[in-house]
Amino acid sequence: MVGLVDSLMGSFQECETLQRTMRCTAVVGLLVLVLLIPMASSEIGGRDAPNCLELNTNQLQNTITIGAGVCAKVNLGVLQPGDVYDISISIIDDAVDVLFFDQNQILTYDAGQSYRSQFNQIISTENALGGYNFHWKVPASINPKTYFMVLDNLAHDGDNGQGDQGGSTSQIGASVTKIEESFWTPFHDAIAVSSNEFVTLLSGDSLKLDAGTTIVVTAWALTGQADIYLQTRSMHDLYLTGDVGQLFVAGLDLQSVVDSDSDTWTVPEELDGEELLIIVDNTNTPVGGAVGDSDIRVTVRVELAPILQPIISASEAGVTTIGEAISMNANDSPNRIGQIATLSWDFDDTVDDNQDGIFTNDNQAQGFEVASSWAAIGNKVVTL
């Protein structure tokens, strides 16, 4: 550097001798740039890694303290895609950023790089203060992944100046519990809906149901006020066009959900096999619900209780002679969502093949289509 400065001084002296020539000006300008470039490079530098405390979920059962300028990375473990977890978080004294990452997304945060496009936008909350509860379905992936919850109480080099920037000490408690789902739960997850938008949760064949099927919809608000509606296809078409008419099924309409709410409804005969839809609405229609003027986040669970009512049909009007087989089937049984996986038939309530003392539970045939004959006359009771 000393030689470079001496060279620069010599160049200035040469300039005085040559009296402002264009060539001298170009040489001096080049040397000044050479001096400035290393200075600019040193200002850019590398970003600092946050060096978070590493915790597991058991350590959050009791309240922990996260000081200003500190972050904690909570290992949620290797989670199976499709599993659903109940997550509750309580934050007091000072806000923090609660951020969720998978094992790949967390790398940018750990390196101090810009992570804003990496964390789970739906269940993460920046400047979080107070209580939060939601249900989260582990995203689909080829292989299970490790997931992390970061409690950020610092000015991270990669947060672009957004979210909590530290400040004061926070007291935080949290629980992460796997939910055991009922078998027919076609939707159970947290979703986000922008202002003046809606999201369809279920439609098409997934919600063409047998008459007598019960639908239970439960919602837990996370941010804002949500409306959840059950619609027929014709109602949904009116909803899309903004025309006047009935826009939802009376009896299953959760409006302005700010905490939690639930509705139960049974499919009537006139809607047997008809397409139904369940939507989360964040608009100012239908009348009576929330106004849709801000983004919302909400957990929604849809559970079905299908009807189990096998129907037996028989050839020859159910009449046969000794030794002649009669064909029977249960093809007309309500089974639109596959609630009947297999059928077991008992052809005679006077016989106890398995000798368990019950005369109507012998597994004498299986399937939806069977045949049987009898060696003695009389009325035979067939049990399915």
Among 179, 207, 226, identify where a domain stops: 179
* Long-range contacts from 70-75, C-beta under 8 angstroms, 24+ separation: 70/153, 70/154, 71/150, 71/151, 71/152, 71/153, 71/154, 71/156, 72/150, 72/151, 72/172, 73/106, 73/110, 73/148, 73/149, 73/150, 74/148, 74/149, 74/150, 74/151, 74/174, 75/146, 75/148
- For residue 34, is pLDDT > 70? no
Q: In this structure, are 329 and 295 located in the same domain?
A: no
Residues 203/231, Cβ–Cβ less than 8 Å: no
For residue 82, what are the contacts with CB-CB under 8 A and spacing of at least 6? 137, 138, 140
Pairing of strands 70-79, 53-56: parallel
Q: Is the dihedral of CA 56, 58, 61, 62 positive or negative?
A: negative
Of 179, 202, 224, the residue at which a domain comes to its end is 179
User: Do both 273 and 349 map to the same domain?
Assistant: no
Report the DSSP beta bridge partners of residue 296: 193
Structural domain including 133 reads 53-179
> What is the C-alpha separation between 307 and 214, in angstroms, rounded?
8
Of the candidates 298, 299, 302, 301, which has an alpha carbon nearest to the alpha carbon of residue 207? 302
pLDDT digits (tens, 9 = 90+) for 62-115: 899 999 999 999 999 999 999 999 999 999 999 999 999 999 999 999 999 898
Q: How confident is the model at residue 2 (pLDDT cuts 50, 70, 90)?
A: very low
pLDDT at 153: 94
pLDDT tops 50 at residue 16: no
Q: Which CATH number does the domain housing residue 268 bear?
A: 2.60.120.680
Residue at a domain's end among 179, 202, 231: 179
C-alpha separations of 49 from 44, 119, 127 in Å: 15, 17, 21
Q: Which H helix or E strand runs over 41?
A: helix 22-44
68 with 171, same domain: the answer is yes
Alpha-carbon distance values, 210 to 277, 304, 313, 337 (Å): 15, 11, 19, 8
Task: Say whether both 127 and 57 belong to one domain.
Answer: yes
Whether 31 shows a pLDDT value over 80: the answer reads no
Residue 325: C-alpha distances to residues 242, 319, 384 (Å): 60, 10, 18
Residue 134 is which amino acid? Answer: F
Q: What domain count does the chain have?
A: 4
Mean model confidence pLDDT for the chain: 87
Same domain, 104 and 215: no
pLDDT tens readout for residues 246-271: 999 999 999 999 999 999 999 999 99
Give the burial class of 217: count Cβ atoms within 10 A of its Cβ; 0-12 exposed, 13-18 middle, 19 or more buried.
buried
Q: What pLDDT score does 48 carry? A: 76
**192 and 290 in a common domain:** yes
Q: Are residues 199 and 300 in the same domain?
A: yes
Q: How far apart (Å, rounded) are the C-alpha atoms in residues 255 and 252?
A: 10
What pLDDT was estimated at residue 6? 47
Q: What is the pLDDT of residue 47?
A: 63
> In this structure, are 149 and 60 located in the same domain?
yes
Residue the block writes with tokens 């992390």: 148
**Confidence (pLDDT) at 305:** 96
Tell me what pLDDT residue 347 has.
Answer: 86
Highest mean pLDDT (candidates 48-57, 67-76, 163-172):
67-76
99 and 19, same structural domain?
Answer: no
d(CA 304, CA 206): 11
Query: Mapping DSSP to helix (H, G, I), strand (E, B) and coil, where does residue 346 land?
Result: strand
Mean pLDDT, range 134-141, rounded to an integer: 97
Do 219 and 153 share a domain, yes or no? no
Pairwise CA distance, residues 273 & 158, whole Å: 52
Closest among 237, 230, 239 to 201, alpha carbons compared:
230
Q: Which helix (H) or strand (E) holds 44?
A: helix 22-44
Same domain, 205 and 291: yes
Q: 183 falls in which pLDDT band (50, 70, 90)?
A: confident
276, amino acid identity: L
What is the separation, in whole angstroms, between the first and last Cα of the chain? 95
Kindly state whether residues 292 and 361 are assigned to the same domain.
no
Q: What is the CATH number of the domain that holds 342?
A: 2.60.40
Percent of the chain with pLDDT over 70: 88
Evaluate if pTM is beyond 0.85.
Answer: no
